[in-house]
Amino acid sequence: MDRSELKKCRRVVVKVGTSTITHSNGKINIQRMDRLCRALADLHNRGTDVLLVSSGAVGAGMGRLGYAEKPSSLPVKQALAAVGQGLLMQMYEKLFSEYGCTTAQILLTRAGFNDRSRYLNLCNTMHALADMNVIPVINENDTIAVDELKFGDNDTLSALVACAAGADLLIILSDIDGLYDADPRVHKDAKLIHEVRTVSQSIRDNSGSKGSSMSSGGMYTKITAADVVLPAGIPLVIASGAAENVLYRILDGEVLGTLFVPPMEHRHARKQWIAANRPFESVTIDAGAVKALTEQGGSLLAKGITAVNGEFEAGRLLAVLAPDGREIARGLTNFNSRDLKKIMGRRSDEFEALLGVKDFDEAIHRDNLTVL
């Protein structure tokens, strides 16, 4: 694809970072928020479904309560988010209503994506809001999220939202112009990369920069977002939120920021959901099973499993680990952990004698398995 095809996008997820909508002291940048809402409302009026993923709750809470620096304490950050989220949504509601748009607030946690039925319910809600011509304003539910269930940054959240909403494009607005070949804050001769078709290892190595003192992300988290949306066939543009008319210019096909181009072939939505979510339990497999999954596209058979890690029920999303501990795949298990421990290393014709019943031949069927 090329930039001219962005004009055809009919459903767009826009993510704004804390630094884009707040001043350096953490207080809300009203002028920039007004420009953002005006542009989104105008795009919405011309027939584009827009979903806004907005950071800034903690920053807004810091500004209201007089914090100069982001605290390290999780309870304090959650309390600041509780104060700031109300301020943030109040401002969005006020600005969007001035342009004739209705908004909805959606606060999400990782659990809403990790559970398949909850994920489908979220997808249905987003589609229903689009049918009602409502603009969702989405953020992580920082007030209740715990470390092991946090997204960690809204770049990742926006990518997952784009997949759930069936978006045609994800735009991440940041305090940097796009992806550079080196950190421009350190290397003055760094060059902006306008288009990425393959996320190479050198790009990953150069993406370790952190965001501003108010934000939780940096370029690394944006590369992670690309890893989520590109296999789903969704292009990603990273651009500066301070650029004049940035959304119009991107959707009009102007070479602005960095465009990440998805591959011609992409995963089915179910397999994309599997790849995008983080398992908490796992199985370890032998070298033969690794080869069957990665080179032959096969299902995971119990015979190739050498260890079952954690307690879980059938249907749970599991990480599949190579003998050296690398995660090579993810999939939905046909068996609970108790039964899987009984049949690991055994052939399928032994299942009935071991379990009393044989419902499946595979531990994880290839249709429910994604190789990473």
Looking up residue 348, the CATH number of its domain turns out to be: 2.30.130.10
Q: Which of 21-30, 77-86, 209-218, 268-277 has the lowest mean pLDDT?
A: 209-218
Let me know whether 218 and 83 are in one domain.
yes
219 annotated ligand binder: yes
Compute the average pLDDT of residues 80-93. 92
CB 297 within 8 A of CB 271: no
Among residues 245, 271, 297, which one ends one of the domains? 271
Let me know whether 35 and 136 are in one domain.
yes
Q: What total number of domains does the chain contain?
A: 2
Q: Which of 4-8, 56-60, 245-249, 262-266 has the lowest mean pLDDT?
A: 262-266
pTM above 0.85, yes or no: no
Stronger pLDDT, 149 or 342, i.e. the higher one:
342
Domain that holds residue 357: 279-371
Let me know whether 226 and 311 are in one domain.
no
Among residues 271, 291, 326, which one ends one of the domains? 271
Determine the pLDDT at residue 27. 75
217 annotated ligand binder: yes
Compute the average pLDDT of residues 104-108. 95
Write out the two tokens for 310: 């954690």
**What is the CATH number for 90?**
3.40.1160.10
Stronger pLDDT, 59 or 349, i.e. the higher one:
349
216 pLDDT above the threshold of 50: no
Stronger pLDDT, 126 or 24, i.e. the higher one:
126
Let me know whether 291 and 352 are in one domain.
yes
Determine the pLDDT at residue 209. 52
Q: What's the mean pLDDT when you consider all of the chain?
A: 88
Instruction: With CA atoms as reference, report the closest residue to 64 among 50, 45, 78, 83.
Output: 83
271 pLDDT above the threshold of 80: no
Q: Which of 104-113, 145-154, 306-315, 333-342 has the lowest mean pLDDT?
A: 145-154
Q: Which of 21-25, 89-93, 102-106, 219-223 has the lowest mean pLDDT?
A: 21-25
Cα separation of 198 and 177, whole Å? 19
DSSP assigned state of 319: E
Stronger pLDDT, 96 or 232, i.e. the higher one:
96
132 annotated ligand binder: no
DSSP 203-242: HHHT---B--TT-S-BHHHHHHHHHHHGGGT--EEEEETT
Let me know whether 260 and 284 are in one domain.
no
Determine the pLDDT at residue 287. 95
Among residues 209, 244, 271, which one ends one of the domains? 271
Let me know whether 241 and 330 are in one domain.
no
214 pLDDT above the threshold of 60: no
175 annotated ligand binder: yes
Give the tens place of pLDDT for each residue, 287-298.
Answer: 999 999 999 989
174 annotated ligand binder: yes
Indicate the pLDDT class of residue 215, thresholds 50, 70 and 90.
very low
148 pLDDT above the threshold of 60: no
Let me know whether 296 and 181 are in one domain.
no
Where does residue 264 fall: left (phi above 0), alpha (psi -120 to 50 degrees), or beta otherwise? alpha
4 annotated ligand binder: no
Stronger pLDDT, 258 or 200, i.e. the higher one:
258
Let me know whether 145 and 239 are in one domain.
yes
Indicate the pLDDT class of residue 145, thresholds 50, 70 and 90.
low
Determine the pLDDT at residue 10. 94
Let me know whether 98 and 133 are in one domain.
yes
213 pLDDT above the threshold of 50: no
CB 55 within 8 A of CB 93: no
Cα separation of 341 and 170, whole Å? 42
55 annotated ligand binder: yes
Let me know whether 171 and 50 are in one domain.
yes
Stronger pLDDT, 106 or 314, i.e. the higher one:
106
Compute the average pLDDT of residues 161-178. 91
Compute the average pLDDT of residues 336-352. 95
324 annotated ligand binder: no
CB 155 within 8 A of CB 14: no
202 pLDDT above the threshold of 70: yes
Let me know whether 221 and 197 are in one domain.
yes
Determine the pLDDT at residue 232. 83
Give the tens place of pLDDT for each residue, 329-343.
Answer: 998 899 999 999 999
Residues near 37 by beta carbon (within 8 Å), at least 6 away in sequence: 92, 95, 96, 98, 99, 101
CB 88 within 8 A of CB 54: yes
Determine the pLDDT at residue 118. 80
200 annotated ligand binder: no
Let me know whether 315 and 217 are in one domain.
no
